[in-house]
A and B are shown apart, each in its own frame.
Chain A
Amino acid sequence: MTTKTEAGIEQRIREAIIRALRVPGVDSSTPLQMGSTPGWDSMGHMSVVMEIEKEFGVRLPPYRLPELVDIPSIAKTLETTSPQGRFN
């Protein structure tokens, strides 16, 4: 079950992705996923990563970046990443 805080985090992630990719006409029900969302390919991926880092004030370690392929995976990674991007 998704809590209110989790829903808030997912919404912030969604908005950060939309900002990074400049995807027009995306509503809250449109799934955002690497490979299927326009602009979210290997090149667009780094824009998404940097926008997420800016939004949450974190630094993601390089080995986590390939795992960030959709909103749930980003939320899961953020849970285990402290602001300095150190290991937990």
Chain B
Amino acid sequence: MLLNSTGASVQLASSIDPHVLLGLAIAVAVSIFISVVPQTQRPNITIVALLAAIAYYRWAFLGFAVVAGIAYLALRYLSGHTDGAKRWNWACGALVLLTAVFGAGRIWHWDAPVGSAGPIPLVLYGLDMWLMLRLVTLFWEVGSGTVAAPSLTQYVLWVCLPFTIGGPLLRFSEMPETVRPDRSLWRSRGWWAQIARSSALLTAGFAATLFPLAIPAHWPHAHVIKSAVLTFFAGPFGFYFSTAGYFGLMEQLARPSGFGLQPSFCHPFGRENISVFWMNWNRTATFVFRDYLFYNRWGRQNYNVYFNILLLFTLVGFWHAANAYWVLWGILNGLLFCTFLLWRRYTAAAKHLPLRGTPIAKTAARALTYLSVCMCWYLPSKVLQQLAIAI
């Protein structure tokens, strides 16, 4: 998965991932199959999604099925509570447990094979970042009574949906009640233009990661230039383009099959502050963190925005991967966001600020936001490098 980087920097995350290409190939095949083949001549849509998940996970499918199956049983138990307060308390407990399992699974690599059945590795646990997020939203929605617990077929379709299996996110409450494929989109110019745009983004993302490789070939001693290009251009844009391209393609491929996915990326670079940047970056996931963590008062009357921001970003970092790089990345983003809030509070109170509202100030704010975002990706790897040298 694009965001599931365990490498030491974001540059590595945006290199060509065979899982991305596999996910795309499956999504294309399913989109064509569901929307073009008449309903009477193809298997049920749930079976199609299940087969797509098997093709996507391959030998890791058993682990995915075990986790998804246990979660389903827990959801059925949860929905049995008619008292709303009790159901919500159980849901909160389930969410804590799910988070603990996700964390432990990542730290101790529970998704590693425990044996083999002939040539096939035996994996009994699989909880990747997107399945984790999907399950969190479902426990939240069922626990709060927003939706009833899904039937088994609804659940299998939702959890195995090839357009969301490796991101972006479709909350269960956003699933269509009746899936109505729309084959007319295959003849729509607008739809093809969106497909072309997302494909171009994905290609540009891959190309951006290859670009720095050309620098040492031509200028072998240009270490600073290479580092600057990686930090401020190839890394961020490679990551953004490839992820936005992949998610954009999934959004478009889902449409003929009858599923509407919310847009994930809305031009996040060049925004005026870090808050607006995050409002437009990987929105389907970001909004879950905002709705469930940022707005949370943890049962108290008061609300501590700084605590919530630091917790939120640390967990977002951990959600990406259980390693020091991503946790540091999360803490840095949290600190950056808190700094922005303090600055906003200060400027709101200050009566006269030089250049306030001028084009220069606005341009400087956009540039500073971009540089700060880049530094949050770059600094953790630098800090860890220095620590490794010191030790």
What residue in chain A is nearest B84 (Cβ atoms)?
A87
Q: Are B303 and A63 in contact (CB under 8 A)?
A: no
Chain B residues with CB below 8 A from A65, complex form: 291, 295
Chain A residues with CB below 8 A from B303, complex form: 46, 50
B262-298 toward A: CB 8 Å interface, digit per residue (1/0)?
0000000000000100010000000100111011110
Chain B residues with CB below 8 A from A49, complex form: 295
Distance (Å) between the CB of B230 and the closest chain A CB?
31
Find A42's partner among B146, B290, B344 (CB 8 Å cutoff): B290
Report if B140 contacts A (CB, 8 A).
yes
Q: Are A66 and B291 in contact (CB under 8 A)?
A: yes
Chain A residues with CB below 8 A from B295, complex form: 45-46, 49, 62, 65-66
Distance (Å) between the CB of B153 and the closest chain A CB?
26
Report if B368 contacts A (CB, 8 A).
no
Report if B260 contacts A (CB, 8 A).
no
Report if A72 contacts B (CB, 8 A).
no
Contact flag A46-B305 (CB < 8 Å), given A65-B291, A87-B84, A87-B88:
yes
Distance (Å) between the CB of B292 and the closest chain A CB?
8
Number of residue pairs spanning A and B whose beta carbons lie under 8 angstroms apart: 42
Report if A43 contacts B (CB, 8 A).
yes
Q: Are A42 and B279 in contact (CB under 8 A)?
A: yes
Chain A residues with CB below 8 A from B294, complex form: 42
With A and B bound together, what is the CA distance between A81 and B292 in angstroms?
19
With A and B bound together, what is the CA distance between A61 and B344 in angstroms?
28
With A and B bound together, what is the CA distance between A64 and B279 in angstroms?
20
Q: Are B88 and A42 in contact (CB under 8 A)?
A: no
Chain A residues with CB below 8 A from B275, complex form: 41-43
Q: Are A63 and B279 in contact (CB under 8 A)?
A: no
Contact flag A87-B145 (CB < 8 Å), given A42-B275, A43-B275, A43-B341:
yes
Q: Are B84 and A63 in contact (CB under 8 A)?
A: no
Find B140's partner among A41, A43, A63, A88 (CB 8 Å cutoff): A63
Chain A residues with CB below 8 A from B107, complex form: none
Report if A19 contacts B (CB, 8 A).
no
A28-58 toward B: CB 8 Å interface, digit per residue (1/0)?
0000000000000111011001100000000
Chain A residues with CB below 8 A from B46, complex form: none
Chain B residues with CB below 8 A from A88, complex form: 84
Chain A residues with CB below 8 A from B371, complex form: none
Report if A86 contacts B (CB, 8 A).
yes
Question: What are 10 A-B contacts with C-beta separation under 8 Å?
Answer: A42-B275, A43-B305, A61-B144, A62-B295, A62-B296, A63-B88, A65-B295, A66-B287, A87-B83, A87-B88
Ordered nearest first, which 9 A-B pairs have the shortest CB separation?
A87-B84, A63-B144, A66-B291, A65-B295, A46-B303, A62-B296, A87-B85, A42-B290, A86-B85
Q: Other than A62-B297, A87-B84, give 9 A-B pairs with Cβ distance below 8 A.
A: A42-B294, A61-B88, A61-B144, A63-B140, A65-B295, A66-B291, A87-B85, A87-B88, A87-B145
Q: Give B residues with C-beta under 8 Å from A.
A: 83-85, 88, 140, 143-146, 275, 279, 287, 290-292, 294-297, 303, 305, 341, 344
